[in-house]
Structure 1
Amino acid sequence: MAEPDTEVAEVPLYLRVAAVLRDDLAHRRISPGTRLPSERSLSQRYHVNRQTVRSALQLLRDERLVVTDRRGTFAAAAGTEPEPAAPALTARRPNFPGGPRVSEALVRASLTWEPPPTPLTSRLLLAPGEPTLVHRHVVLGPQGTALQRAVSWFSRPAVTEIPQLARYRRGKDGHHQPDLRLLYHWMHQAGLRITHRESVGVPSGPDAPYDASGGAARLVVHRVVSDQHGHALEITDIDFSAQSAAWTYEFSA
Protein backbone atom coordinates (compact mmCIF):
# COMPACT_ATOMS: atom_id res chain seq x y z
CA MET A 1 0.00 0.00 0.00
CA ALA A 2 1.38 3.35 -0.99
CA GLU A 3 2.29 5.78 1.79
CA PRO A 4 0.10 8.91 2.05
CA ASP A 5 1.45 12.20 0.89
CA THR A 6 3.11 14.30 3.57
CA GLU A 7 1.19 17.43 4.50
CA VAL A 8 3.31 20.57 4.25
CA ALA A 9 2.09 23.31 6.55
CA GLU A 10 2.68 26.95 5.65
CA VAL A 11 5.35 28.54 7.83
CA PRO A 12 3.72 31.10 10.17
CA LEU A 13 4.65 34.74 9.53
CA TYR A 14 6.18 35.28 12.95
CA LEU A 15 8.61 32.38 12.33
CA ARG A 16 9.68 33.99 9.07
CA VAL A 17 10.31 37.33 10.81
CA ALA A 18 12.19 35.57 13.61
CA ALA A 19 14.33 33.71 11.06
CA VAL A 20 15.37 36.95 9.33
CA LEU A 21 16.22 38.66 12.62
CA ARG A 22 18.05 35.54 13.86
CA ASP A 23 20.19 35.58 10.70
CA ASP A 24 20.96 39.28 11.20
CA LEU A 25 22.02 38.58 14.78
CA ALA A 26 24.12 35.55 13.83
CA HIS A 27 26.02 37.45 11.13
CA ARG A 28 26.43 40.56 13.32
CA ARG A 29 24.40 42.76 11.01
CA ILE A 30 22.84 43.65 14.33
CA SER A 31 25.78 43.98 16.70
CA PRO A 32 25.63 42.70 20.30
CA GLY A 33 24.16 45.35 22.57
CA THR A 34 22.55 47.24 19.69
CA ARG A 35 18.94 48.29 20.06
CA LEU A 36 16.58 46.73 17.54
CA PRO A 37 14.13 48.88 15.58
CA SER A 38 10.76 49.53 17.20
CA GLU A 39 7.85 47.11 16.74
CA ARG A 40 6.20 49.64 14.43
CA SER A 41 9.34 49.91 12.28
CA LEU A 42 9.72 46.14 12.10
CA SER A 43 6.06 45.65 11.20
CA GLN A 44 6.44 48.15 8.35
CA ARG A 45 9.71 46.62 7.20
CA TYR A 46 8.33 43.07 7.00
CA HIS A 47 4.74 44.02 6.05
CA VAL A 48 3.19 42.26 9.05
CA ASN A 49 1.13 43.41 12.01
CA ARG A 50 2.68 44.30 15.37
CA GLN A 51 1.40 41.14 17.05
CA THR A 52 3.40 39.09 14.55
CA VAL A 53 6.50 41.13 15.44
CA ARG A 54 5.84 40.65 19.17
CA SER A 55 5.59 36.88 18.69
CA ALA A 56 8.84 36.82 16.71
CA LEU A 57 10.65 38.84 19.39
CA GLN A 58 9.27 36.61 22.13
CA LEU A 59 10.68 33.57 20.34
CA LEU A 60 14.10 35.27 20.14
CA ARG A 61 13.88 36.15 23.83
CA ASP A 62 13.15 32.50 24.60
CA GLU A 63 16.30 31.64 22.64
CA ARG A 64 18.17 34.33 24.62
CA LEU A 65 19.26 36.11 21.46
CA VAL A 66 17.65 39.40 22.49
CA VAL A 67 16.73 41.05 25.77
CA THR A 68 14.00 43.58 26.47
CA ASP A 69 13.75 46.27 29.11
CA ARG A 70 11.82 49.53 29.39
CA ARG A 71 14.18 51.17 26.88
CA GLY A 72 13.43 48.64 24.15
CA THR A 73 14.76 45.35 22.74
CA PHE A 74 18.50 44.79 22.33
CA ALA A 75 20.72 42.15 20.78
CA ALA A 76 22.15 40.04 23.60
CA ALA A 77 25.63 41.20 24.52
CA ALA A 78 28.47 38.83 23.65
CA GLY A 79 29.92 36.91 26.55
CA THR A 80 26.97 37.52 28.87
CA GLU A 81 25.40 34.09 28.90
CA PRO A 82 22.90 33.69 31.75
CA GLU A 83 23.81 31.47 34.66
CA PRO A 84 22.99 27.84 33.85
CA ALA A 85 20.07 26.33 35.66
CA ALA A 86 20.49 23.33 37.92
CA PRO A 87 20.64 20.12 35.84
CA ALA A 88 17.26 18.82 37.01
CA LEU A 89 15.43 22.13 36.52
CA THR A 90 15.48 23.98 33.22
CA ALA A 91 13.35 26.95 32.24
CA ARG A 92 12.19 25.49 28.97
CA ARG A 93 8.87 24.05 27.96
CA PRO A 94 8.61 20.29 27.37
CA ASN A 95 8.59 19.27 23.76
CA PHE A 96 5.36 18.14 22.18
CA PRO A 97 5.89 15.02 20.02
CA GLY A 98 4.36 16.85 17.10
CA GLY A 99 6.61 16.42 14.10
CA PRO A 100 9.49 14.54 12.49
CA ARG A 101 12.79 14.71 14.37
CA VAL A 102 14.55 11.92 12.58
CA SER A 103 14.39 10.69 9.01
CA GLU A 104 10.89 11.16 7.60
CA ALA A 105 10.82 7.45 6.76
CA LEU A 106 11.08 6.62 10.47
CA VAL A 107 8.24 8.85 11.70
CA ARG A 108 4.50 8.42 11.35
CA ALA A 109 2.16 11.13 12.61
CA SER A 110 -1.52 11.80 12.06
CA LEU A 111 -4.42 13.94 13.26
CA THR A 112 -7.92 12.55 13.49
CA TRP A 113 -11.27 13.69 14.84
CA GLU A 114 -12.70 11.07 17.21
CA PRO A 115 -14.15 10.60 20.72
CA PRO A 116 -11.55 10.16 23.49
CA PRO A 117 -11.58 7.22 25.92
CA THR A 118 -14.53 7.51 28.31
CA PRO A 119 -12.40 8.28 31.43
CA LEU A 120 -10.94 11.35 29.68
CA THR A 121 -14.24 12.82 28.44
CA SER A 122 -15.06 15.00 31.43
CA ARG A 123 -11.44 16.07 31.94
CA LEU A 124 -11.41 17.38 28.37
CA LEU A 125 -14.72 19.21 28.98
CA LEU A 126 -16.47 17.11 26.36
CA ALA A 127 -19.92 15.53 26.31
CA PRO A 128 -20.11 11.70 26.22
CA GLY A 129 -19.33 10.53 22.70
CA GLU A 130 -18.29 14.03 21.55
CA PRO A 131 -15.29 13.87 19.20
CA THR A 132 -12.15 15.95 19.53
CA LEU A 133 -8.77 16.37 17.89
CA VAL A 134 -6.46 13.38 18.47
CA HIS A 135 -2.78 13.33 17.54
CA ARG A 136 -0.73 10.15 17.14
CA HIS A 137 3.04 10.08 16.68
CA VAL A 138 5.26 7.00 16.23
CA VAL A 139 9.05 6.87 15.88
CA LEU A 140 10.26 3.67 14.21
CA GLY A 141 13.66 2.04 14.41
CA PRO A 142 15.63 0.79 11.37
CA GLN A 143 13.93 -2.61 11.61
CA GLY A 144 10.48 -1.11 11.89
CA THR A 145 10.27 -1.53 15.68
CA ALA A 146 8.38 1.25 17.46
CA LEU A 147 10.88 3.17 19.60
CA GLN A 148 8.33 5.70 20.78
CA ARG A 149 4.56 6.02 20.62
CA ALA A 150 2.55 9.04 21.68
CA VAL A 151 -1.15 9.84 21.57
CA SER A 152 -2.60 13.22 22.56
CA TRP A 153 -6.19 14.25 23.13
CA PHE A 154 -7.14 17.92 23.02
CA SER A 155 -9.88 19.53 25.10
CA ARG A 156 -12.71 21.66 23.82
CA PRO A 157 -11.02 24.88 25.14
CA ALA A 158 -7.77 23.97 23.35
CA VAL A 159 -9.45 23.48 19.98
CA THR A 160 -11.55 26.61 20.49
CA GLU A 161 -8.90 29.02 21.78
CA ILE A 162 -5.80 28.01 19.80
CA PRO A 163 -6.24 29.07 16.15
CA GLN A 164 -3.52 26.74 14.86
CA LEU A 165 -5.47 23.77 16.25
CA ALA A 166 -8.90 25.10 15.31
CA ARG A 167 -7.95 25.07 11.63
CA TYR A 168 -7.73 21.28 11.71
CA ARG A 169 -11.34 21.09 12.88
CA ARG A 170 -12.53 21.91 9.39
CA GLY A 171 -10.88 18.85 7.87
CA LYS A 172 -12.82 15.62 7.68
CA ASP A 173 -9.95 13.39 6.62
CA GLY A 174 -6.85 12.48 8.60
CA HIS A 175 -3.95 14.94 8.38
CA HIS A 176 -0.76 13.06 7.59
CA GLN A 177 2.58 14.05 9.13
CA PRO A 178 1.25 17.17 10.93
CA ASP A 179 3.91 19.26 12.66
CA LEU A 180 2.76 20.47 16.08
CA ARG A 181 6.18 21.09 17.57
CA LEU A 182 5.24 24.73 18.25
CA LEU A 183 2.12 23.74 20.18
CA TYR A 184 3.23 25.23 23.50
CA HIS A 185 4.31 28.44 21.81
CA TRP A 186 0.86 28.60 20.18
CA MET A 187 -0.69 28.24 23.63
CA HIS A 188 1.43 31.13 24.90
CA GLN A 189 0.52 33.15 21.82
CA ALA A 190 -3.18 32.57 22.57
CA GLY A 191 -2.72 34.11 26.03
CA LEU A 192 -2.80 30.80 27.92
CA ARG A 193 -0.58 30.41 30.98
CA ILE A 194 0.12 26.71 30.98
CA THR A 195 1.10 24.22 33.64
CA HIS A 196 2.62 20.81 32.84
CA ARG A 197 2.18 17.83 35.11
CA GLU A 198 3.95 14.63 34.14
CA SER A 199 4.05 11.17 35.67
CA VAL A 200 6.81 8.76 34.60
CA GLY A 201 6.71 5.07 35.40
CA VAL A 202 7.58 1.52 34.38
CA PRO A 203 4.48 -0.62 33.90
CA SER A 204 4.42 -4.10 35.37
CA GLY A 205 2.36 -7.23 34.92
CA PRO A 206 1.40 -9.24 31.83
CA ASP A 207 0.18 -6.16 29.94
CA ALA A 208 3.41 -4.20 30.33
CA PRO A 209 4.77 -2.96 26.98
CA TYR A 210 8.11 -4.38 25.90
CA ASP A 211 10.42 -3.76 22.99
CA ALA A 212 9.83 -6.81 20.81
CA SER A 213 13.32 -6.60 19.31
CA GLY A 214 15.20 -7.17 22.54
CA GLY A 215 12.76 -7.51 25.40
CA ALA A 216 13.77 -4.15 26.92
CA ALA A 217 11.26 -2.55 29.28
CA ARG A 218 9.52 0.61 28.18
CA LEU A 219 8.95 3.77 30.19
CA VAL A 220 5.57 5.46 30.12
CA VAL A 221 4.85 9.18 30.53
CA HIS A 222 1.44 10.65 31.28
CA ARG A 223 1.30 14.40 30.64
CA VAL A 224 -1.51 16.81 31.45
CA VAL A 225 -1.19 20.42 30.26
CA SER A 226 -3.64 22.82 31.92
CA ASP A 227 -4.43 26.53 31.55
CA GLN A 228 -4.48 29.22 34.22
CA HIS A 229 -8.01 28.17 35.21
CA GLY A 230 -7.00 24.57 35.84
CA HIS A 231 -8.77 23.29 32.72
CA ALA A 232 -6.98 20.55 30.79
CA LEU A 233 -5.83 21.60 27.33
CA GLU A 234 -3.99 18.44 26.32
CA ILE A 235 -3.58 14.96 27.73
CA THR A 236 -0.75 12.89 26.26
CA ASP A 237 0.42 9.34 26.87
CA ILE A 238 3.93 8.46 25.66
CA ASP A 239 5.78 5.18 25.91
CA PHE A 240 9.29 4.50 24.66
CA SER A 241 12.04 1.93 24.83
CA ALA A 242 14.16 2.36 27.95
CA GLN A 243 17.04 0.73 26.09
CA SER A 244 17.05 2.91 22.99
CA ALA A 245 15.73 6.29 24.12
CA ALA A 246 15.96 8.77 26.99
CA TRP A 247 13.39 11.11 28.49
CA THR A 248 14.39 14.65 29.52
CA TYR A 249 11.95 16.40 31.81
CA GLU A 250 11.73 20.18 31.47
CA PHE A 251 9.15 22.66 32.67
CA SER A 252 8.19 26.31 32.42
CA ALA A 253 9.47 28.41 35.30
Structure 2
Amino acid sequence: MARTTPHDHSPTEGEPLYRRIATELLGELRDGAVPPGERLPGERRLARHFGVSRETVRQALRVLRRDGLLATDRRGSHATLPGRPVEAPAWSGFPLGARRADGAAVARATVAWEAPPTGHAEALGVAPARPTLVHRYWSASADGRELRAAVTSFSAVVLAEVEELGRYRDRADGTGAAELRRAYDWMRRAGLTLHHRDTITRIAGAPSVRVVRRVHDQHARPLEITELVMDAQEDVLVYEFTVPAAV
Protein backbone atom coordinates (compact mmCIF):
# COMPACT_ATOMS: atom_id res chain seq x y z
CA MET A 1 0.00 0.00 0.00
CA ALA A 2 1.39 3.36 -1.00
CA ARG A 3 2.42 5.66 1.84
CA THR A 4 0.78 9.06 1.98
CA THR A 5 2.26 12.44 2.73
CA PRO A 6 0.60 15.73 3.72
CA HIS A 7 0.55 16.58 0.01
CA ASP A 8 -1.15 13.40 -1.11
CA HIS A 9 -4.78 13.85 -2.09
CA SER A 10 -7.68 11.44 -2.32
CA PRO A 11 -8.69 11.30 -6.00
CA THR A 12 -12.38 11.16 -5.10
CA GLU A 13 -12.63 13.60 -2.23
CA GLY A 14 -10.20 16.27 -3.45
CA GLU A 15 -8.59 16.54 0.00
CA PRO A 16 -5.60 14.89 1.66
CA LEU A 17 -6.38 11.27 2.47
CA TYR A 18 -5.13 11.63 6.04
CA ARG A 19 -7.62 14.45 6.64
CA ARG A 20 -10.49 12.30 5.42
CA ILE A 21 -9.37 9.51 7.76
CA ALA A 22 -9.14 12.02 10.62
CA THR A 23 -12.72 13.09 9.91
CA GLU A 24 -13.99 9.50 9.78
CA LEU A 25 -12.17 8.57 12.99
CA LEU A 26 -13.53 11.64 14.76
CA GLY A 27 -17.06 10.69 13.70
CA GLU A 28 -16.64 7.20 15.15
CA LEU A 29 -15.27 8.62 18.40
CA ARG A 30 -18.27 10.94 18.71
CA ASP A 31 -20.56 7.96 18.12
CA GLY A 32 -18.98 6.25 21.12
CA ALA A 33 -16.94 3.64 19.24
CA VAL A 34 -14.29 4.07 21.96
CA PRO A 35 -15.56 4.98 25.45
CA PRO A 36 -14.20 8.25 26.89
CA GLY A 37 -10.82 7.76 28.53
CA GLU A 38 -10.15 4.38 26.92
CA ARG A 39 -7.24 3.91 24.57
CA LEU A 40 -7.70 3.94 20.82
CA PRO A 41 -6.66 0.84 18.89
CA GLY A 42 -3.03 0.85 17.73
CA GLU A 43 -1.91 2.34 14.42
CA ARG A 44 -1.67 -1.08 12.79
CA ARG A 45 -5.26 -1.94 13.68
CA LEU A 46 -6.55 1.48 12.64
CA ALA A 47 -4.72 1.17 9.33
CA ARG A 48 -6.38 -2.19 8.71
CA HIS A 49 -9.75 -0.81 9.80
CA PHE A 50 -9.65 2.16 7.39
CA GLY A 51 -7.75 0.36 4.62
CA VAL A 52 -4.84 2.82 4.54
CA SER A 53 -1.17 2.83 5.50
CA ARG A 54 0.09 3.31 9.04
CA GLU A 55 1.70 6.57 7.94
CA THR A 56 -1.69 7.90 6.86
CA VAL A 57 -3.15 6.90 10.23
CA ARG A 58 -0.22 8.57 12.00
CA GLN A 59 -0.88 11.82 10.11
CA ALA A 60 -4.62 11.63 10.87
CA LEU A 61 -3.89 11.21 14.57
CA ARG A 62 -1.53 14.17 14.40
CA VAL A 63 -4.35 16.34 13.02
CA LEU A 64 -6.71 15.34 15.85
CA ARG A 65 -3.95 15.85 18.42
CA ARG A 66 -3.17 19.31 17.06
CA ASP A 67 -6.86 20.27 17.28
CA GLY A 68 -7.02 19.17 20.90
CA LEU A 69 -9.32 16.22 20.17
CA LEU A 70 -6.77 13.57 21.04
CA ALA A 71 -4.19 13.16 23.78
CA THR A 72 -1.29 10.73 23.84
CA ASP A 73 0.66 9.47 26.83
CA ARG A 74 2.67 6.38 27.73
CA ARG A 75 -0.48 4.23 27.61
CA GLY A 76 -1.42 5.34 24.09
CA SER A 77 -3.92 7.79 22.58
CA HIS A 78 -7.40 8.59 23.86
CA ALA A 79 -10.13 11.04 22.80
CA THR A 80 -10.54 14.36 24.62
CA LEU A 81 -13.71 15.55 22.93
CA PRO A 82 -15.20 18.80 24.25
CA GLY A 83 -18.73 19.10 25.60
CA ARG A 84 -20.75 16.40 27.30
CA PRO A 85 -19.07 13.00 27.56
CA VAL A 86 -20.66 10.09 25.79
CA GLU A 87 -23.60 9.14 27.95
CA ALA A 88 -23.48 5.90 29.86
CA PRO A 89 -25.96 3.23 28.84
CA ALA A 90 -29.41 4.00 30.25
CA TRP A 91 -29.56 0.51 31.72
CA SER A 92 -27.78 -2.82 31.29
CA GLY A 93 -25.19 -2.70 28.55
CA PHE A 94 -24.57 -4.98 25.60
CA PRO A 95 -23.98 -7.87 25.24
CA LEU A 96 -25.91 -9.97 27.71
CA GLY A 97 -23.49 -11.00 30.46
CA ALA A 98 -20.88 -8.32 29.73
CA ARG A 99 -18.81 -7.36 32.76
CA ARG A 100 -18.17 -3.84 33.91
CA ALA A 101 -14.80 -2.46 32.75
CA ASP A 102 -13.08 -2.50 36.15
CA GLY A 103 -9.74 -3.94 35.13
CA ALA A 104 -10.27 -7.06 37.27
CA ALA A 105 -11.32 -9.29 34.38
CA VAL A 106 -10.08 -10.14 30.90
CA ALA A 107 -12.53 -9.64 28.04
CA ARG A 108 -12.57 -9.46 24.26
CA ALA A 109 -15.23 -8.83 21.63
CA THR A 110 -15.29 -9.07 17.84
CA VAL A 111 -17.82 -8.74 15.01
CA ALA A 112 -18.04 -10.66 11.75
CA TRP A 113 -20.29 -10.54 8.69
CA GLU A 114 -21.25 -14.19 8.32
CA ALA A 115 -24.07 -16.71 8.44
CA PRO A 116 -25.60 -16.78 11.93
CA PRO A 117 -25.20 -19.81 14.22
CA THR A 118 -27.68 -22.67 14.12
CA GLY A 119 -31.04 -21.55 15.47
CA HIS A 120 -30.34 -17.84 15.16
CA ALA A 121 -31.48 -17.57 11.54
CA GLU A 122 -34.93 -18.95 12.33
CA ALA A 123 -35.28 -16.62 15.34
CA LEU A 124 -34.42 -13.64 13.15
CA GLY A 125 -36.59 -14.73 10.23
CA VAL A 126 -33.75 -14.97 7.70
CA ALA A 127 -32.51 -17.71 5.38
CA PRO A 128 -30.04 -20.03 7.15
CA ALA A 129 -27.09 -19.22 4.88
CA ARG A 130 -27.74 -15.49 4.62
CA PRO A 131 -24.98 -13.50 6.34
CA THR A 132 -25.60 -10.92 9.01
CA LEU A 133 -23.69 -9.09 11.73
CA VAL A 134 -22.52 -11.57 14.38
CA HIS A 135 -20.97 -10.33 17.64
CA ARG A 136 -18.86 -12.57 19.89
CA TYR A 137 -17.92 -11.78 23.47
CA TRP A 138 -15.67 -13.70 25.87
CA SER A 139 -14.50 -12.85 29.36
CA ALA A 140 -12.83 -14.43 32.38
CA SER A 141 -12.68 -13.31 35.98
CA ALA A 142 -9.40 -12.13 37.46
CA ASP A 143 -8.62 -15.63 38.73
CA GLY A 144 -9.50 -17.11 35.33
CA ARG A 145 -12.19 -19.43 36.70
CA GLU A 146 -15.47 -17.65 35.98
CA LEU A 147 -15.93 -17.73 32.22
CA ARG A 148 -18.57 -16.11 30.05
CA ALA A 149 -19.08 -16.49 26.30
CA ALA A 150 -21.85 -14.81 24.31
CA VAL A 151 -22.78 -14.90 20.61
CA THR A 152 -25.25 -12.36 19.20
CA SER A 153 -26.82 -12.24 15.74
CA PHE A 154 -28.55 -9.08 14.52
CA SER A 155 -31.53 -8.93 12.16
CA ALA A 156 -31.71 -7.05 8.87
CA VAL A 157 -34.32 -4.79 10.47
CA VAL A 158 -32.06 -3.47 13.20
CA LEU A 159 -29.09 -3.08 10.85
CA ALA A 160 -31.24 -1.00 8.51
CA GLU A 161 -32.79 1.21 11.20
CA VAL A 162 -29.89 1.67 13.62
CA GLU A 163 -27.17 3.59 11.82
CA GLU A 164 -24.45 2.90 14.39
CA LEU A 165 -24.87 -0.86 13.98
CA GLY A 166 -25.17 -0.72 10.20
CA ARG A 167 -21.75 0.92 9.97
CA TYR A 168 -20.10 -2.22 11.31
CA ARG A 169 -20.94 -4.28 8.24
CA ASP A 170 -17.99 -3.08 6.16
CA ARG A 171 -15.46 -3.55 8.94
CA ALA A 172 -16.75 -6.78 10.50
CA ASP A 173 -13.80 -9.03 9.67
CA GLY A 174 -13.97 -11.13 12.82
CA THR A 175 -10.55 -10.05 14.07
CA GLY A 176 -10.68 -6.43 15.20
CA ALA A 177 -12.00 -5.34 18.58
CA ALA A 178 -15.65 -4.25 18.61
CA GLU A 179 -17.23 -1.77 21.02
CA LEU A 180 -21.00 -2.27 20.98
CA ARG A 181 -21.71 -1.74 24.68
CA ARG A 182 -24.19 1.06 23.81
CA ALA A 183 -26.09 -1.02 21.24
CA TYR A 184 -29.35 -0.97 23.20
CA ASP A 185 -29.16 2.79 23.64
CA TRP A 186 -28.56 3.15 19.90
CA MET A 187 -31.69 1.09 19.25
CA ARG A 188 -33.75 3.24 21.62
CA ARG A 189 -32.47 6.44 20.03
CA ALA A 190 -33.62 5.05 16.67
CA GLY A 191 -37.17 4.94 18.06
CA LEU A 192 -37.31 1.23 18.88
CA THR A 193 -39.02 -0.03 22.01
CA LEU A 194 -37.10 -3.09 23.19
CA HIS A 195 -38.96 -6.15 24.44
CA HIS A 196 -36.60 -8.74 25.93
CA ARG A 197 -37.32 -12.36 26.71
CA ASP A 198 -34.50 -14.12 28.54
CA THR A 199 -34.58 -17.87 29.12
CA ILE A 200 -32.08 -19.31 31.61
CA THR A 201 -31.41 -23.06 31.57
CA ARG A 202 -29.02 -25.12 33.65
CA ILE A 203 -26.59 -27.17 31.57
CA ALA A 204 -26.75 -30.81 32.67
CA GLY A 205 -23.54 -32.17 34.12
CA ALA A 206 -21.80 -28.80 34.21
CA PRO A 207 -21.63 -25.90 36.68
CA SER A 208 -22.93 -23.55 33.97
CA VAL A 209 -26.12 -22.07 32.63
CA ARG A 210 -27.21 -21.06 29.14
CA VAL A 211 -29.11 -17.81 28.74
CA VAL A 212 -30.94 -17.11 25.48
CA ARG A 213 -32.09 -13.54 24.94
CA ARG A 214 -34.53 -12.61 22.18
CA VAL A 215 -35.21 -8.94 21.52
CA HIS A 216 -38.19 -7.62 19.53
CA ASP A 217 -39.42 -4.10 18.90
CA GLN A 218 -42.88 -2.57 19.36
CA HIS A 219 -43.96 -4.07 16.01
CA ALA A 220 -42.94 -7.61 17.07
CA ARG A 221 -40.04 -7.54 14.62
CA PRO A 222 -36.97 -9.51 15.77
CA LEU A 223 -33.91 -7.34 16.41
CA GLU A 224 -31.33 -9.69 17.86
CA ILE A 225 -30.77 -13.01 19.58
CA THR A 226 -27.98 -13.71 22.05
CA GLU A 227 -26.78 -17.00 23.52
CA LEU A 228 -24.70 -16.69 26.68
CA VAL A 229 -22.97 -19.54 28.52
CA MET A 230 -21.63 -18.67 31.96
CA ASP A 231 -20.45 -20.37 35.14
CA ALA A 232 -23.34 -20.51 37.62
CA GLN A 233 -25.68 -22.83 39.48
CA GLU A 234 -29.28 -21.92 38.68
CA ASP A 235 -32.54 -23.59 37.71
CA VAL A 236 -34.61 -22.58 34.70
CA LEU A 237 -35.98 -19.05 34.88
CA VAL A 238 -37.85 -17.06 32.23
CA TYR A 239 -38.53 -13.36 32.62
CA GLU A 240 -39.62 -10.56 30.28
CA PHE A 241 -39.35 -6.80 30.35
CA THR A 242 -39.75 -3.87 28.00
CA VAL A 243 -37.53 -0.83 27.56
CA PRO A 244 -39.35 2.11 25.91
CA ALA A 245 -37.87 4.02 22.99
CA ALA A 246 -35.96 7.21 23.76
CA VAL A 247 -38.08 10.37 23.55
Which TM-score band (shorter chain)? 0.5 to 0.7
Alignment correspondent of 1:131: 131
Deviations 1:45-102 (CA, angstroms, capped at 9, x unpaired): xxxxxxxxxxx8xx69x9xxxxxxxxxxxxxxxxxxxxxxxxxxxxx64431268724
Alignment correspondent of 1:11: 29
Q: TM-score, normalised by structure 2?
A: 0.55
Map of 1:1-253 to 2, 5 A cutoff? Answer: 10-12=28-30, 93-97=91-95, 101-103=101-103, 106-142=106-142, 144-145=144-145, 147-171=147-171, 173-174=173-174, 176-204=176-204, 208=205, 210=206, 217-242=207-232, 252=243
Alpha carbons 2:152, 2:224 under 8 Å: kept? yes
Aligned pair in 2 of structure 1 residues 132, 101: CA closer, same or farther (>3 Å)?
same
Alpha carbons 2:193, 2:217 under 8 Å: kept? yes
The count of residues paired between Structure 1 and Structure 2 equals: 164
Alpha carbons 1:202, 1:218 under 8 Å: kept? yes
Greater RCO, CA 8 A, separation 6+ = 1
Matched AA of 1:197: R
Q: 2 CA distance for matches of 1:176 and 1:102?
A: 21
Identity between Structure 1 and Structure 2 (%)? 35
| More strand by percentage | 2
Secondary structure of the 1:136 match is: strand
Matched AA of 1:169: R
Unaligned runs of 5+ in 1: 1-7, 16-55, 63-91, 211-216, 244-248
Q: 2 CA distance for matches of 1:13 and 1:124?
A: 26
Deviations 1:155-176 (CA, angstroms, capped at 9, x unpaired): 1111111111110111252252
Alpha carbons 1:138, 1:146 under 8 Å: kept? no
Aligned pair in 2 of structure 1 residues 126, 229: CA closer, same or farther (>3 Å)?
same
RMSD over aligned Cα atoms: 3.7
Deviation, 1:125, is 2.8
Q: TM-score, normalised by structure 1?
A: 0.54
Q: 2 CA distance for matches of 1:115 and 1:188?
A: 26
Unaligned runs of 5+ in 2: 1-24, 34-83, 234-238
Aligned pair in 2 of structure 1 residues 118, 151: CA closer, same or farther (>3 Å)?
closer
Aligned pair in 2 of structure 1 residues 120, 14: CA closer, same or farther (>3 Å)?
closer
Aligned pair in 2 of structure 1 residues 176, 115: CA closer, same or farther (>3 Å)?
same
Q: 1 CA distance for matches of 2:111 and 2:177?
A: 8
Alpha carbons 1:99, 1:180 under 8 Å: kept? no
Q: 2 CA distance for matches of 1:151 and 1:105?
A: 19
Aligned pair in 2 of structure 1 residues 129, 139: CA closer, same or farther (>3 Å)?
same
Matched AA of 1:195: H
Matched AA of 1:96: F
